Amino acid sequence: MEMRSLGRTGLRISVLGYGCGAVGSLMVRGAAADQERAVARAIELGINYFDTAPLYGNGESERNLGRVLAALKPAIHLGTKVNLAPTEKSRIGDAVVASLEQSLKRLGRDSVDLFQLHNTISTASGERMLPPEIVLDQVVPAFERLRRDGKTRFCGFTAIGDTPALHRLIDAKVFDTAQISYNLLNPSAGAPLPTGYPAQDYGQLLARAHGAGMGTIGIRVLAGGALSGSAARHPLASPPPDPIGSANSFDADVARARRLEPLVREGHAGDLIEAGLRFVIANPALTTVLVGTSTIEQLEHAAAAVARGPLPAAALERLKALQAGFAGEAR
């Protein structure tokens, strides 16, 4: 398993990380024995970063991961998050601290390696939205308090929201990491988009964050499952999630994903999942990519894809040509 530096943190983490979220949902709704087998296998494969959050199953992901880690006692790096509710916006500092304290109880740990803001960053009004001013003035000081108290080593945020607001947080250089949406359907975090491309333009967030000394954590690499090229869901998986930054519906993302199948037919990758994973790790500004799973077999598949290394230059050029075909279409 390739290891990459997580920005200025000094940590070396696996290029494939283990996502414990609700989309794949193994760590939320899976059987306890399957959860333990999957985490143990992930560790055998060389994965050393595990990412969870209170929102994943209303704390179930943290509880289950904590139970498994207590049994296995592996040497891994662990990240969790805080997502502030509307009722907490009048007491942000205290709510941030309380959230991590509750997460640590569920995880059965005294501290985590990485604590991240999970809210959408936007100047628009919305229940889970926070403008960059509030993040910088109120969230960051609370994070620093937790760092001083030894509850977390490093602090990060999820780079979902308005592009200018996300750029502002990165440019402030107060966070150690950013979770960035990056995939075959919306590559704008890594490269300029063609004119009229039907997706949010993240303005090369990966290079911007890397240039600010931040570690970068790729999320939505498979577009919530759409990049399997199939709308079918595993029984454990969540219903199709809303797209982030790509089309306006999951079905539209699936339809566009199928138009990338020449990558497979022409021998550049074994399937779209492999193509998606090898595409994102081809960007040297990306530290790690999170993959959530419903089964151990899906974990094995992801690890095998990453082991094949980044897509070669010829595949990347073919991909650009296919993506250019989306330009001018309705999102």
On whether the CB atoms of residues 12 and 47 are closer than 8 A, the answer is: no
- Helix (H) or strand (E) holding 181, with range, is strand 177-181
Provide the token pair at 171: 């440019």
Spacing of C-alpha 194 from chain mean position: 24
Closest to 157 in 3D by CA, of 49, 101, 79: 79
Query: How far apart (Å, rounded) are the C-alpha atoms in residues 8 and 142?
Result: 20
Q: What is the pLDDT of residue 126?
A: 85
Query: How far apart (Å, rounded) are the C-alpha atoms in residues 206 and 216?
Result: 7
| CA–CA–CA angle 112, 113, 117 (5° rounding) | 80
Query: How far apart (Å, rounded) are the C-alpha atoms in residues 203 and 81?
Result: 24
On whether the CB atoms of residues 210 and 175 are closer than 8 A, the answer is: no
Which domains can be identified in the chain, with CATH numbers?
Answer: 3-324 (3.20.20.100)
What is the chain's pLDDT, residue by residue, as a tens digit (331 residues)? 999 999 999 999 999 999 999 999 999 999 999 999 999 999 999 999 999 999 999 999 999 999 999 999 999 999 999 999 999 999 999 999 999 999 999 999 999 999 999 999 999 988 899 999 999 999 999 999 999 999 999 999 999 999 999 999 999 999 999 999 999 999 999 999 999 999 999 999 999 999 999 999 999 999 999 999 998 899 998 999 999 999 999 999 999 999 999 999 999 999 999 999 999 999 999 999 999 999 999 999 999 999 999 999 999 999 999 999 999 999 9
Q: What is the pLDDT of residue 94?
A: 97
What are the b/e assignments for 139-168, b being 16+ CB within 10 Å? Answer: bbebbeebbeeebbbbbbbbbbbbbebbbb
Place of tokens 């959530």: 292
Query: How far apart (Å, rounded) are the C-alpha atoms in residues 98 and 226?
Result: 35
**Residue 136 CB coordination number (10 Å):** 15
Q: What is the pLDDT of residue 59?
A: 96
Q: What are the helix (H) ranges across the chain?
A: 26-29, 32-44, 60-72, 92-107, 132-134, 140-148, 163-172, 205-211, 250-258, 262-265, 272-280, 296-307, 313-324
Q: What is the pLDDT of residue 209?
A: 98
Closest to 154 in 3D by CA, of 29, 47, 5: 5
Q: What is the pLDDT of residue 133?
A: 97
Provide the token pair at 235: 């029984």
On whether the CB atoms of residues 25 and 59 are closer than 8 A, the answer is: no
Provide the token pair at 105: 């109880």
Q: What is the pLDDT of residue 127?
A: 85
DSSP sequence for 193-248: PPTT-SS----SHHHHHHHTT-EEEEE-TTGGGGGGT-----TTSPSPPPPSSS-S
| CA–CA–CA angle 257, 261, 265 (5° rounding) | 170
Model pTM score: 0.96
Spatial neighbors of 171 by CB under 8 A, at least 6 apart, are 208, 212
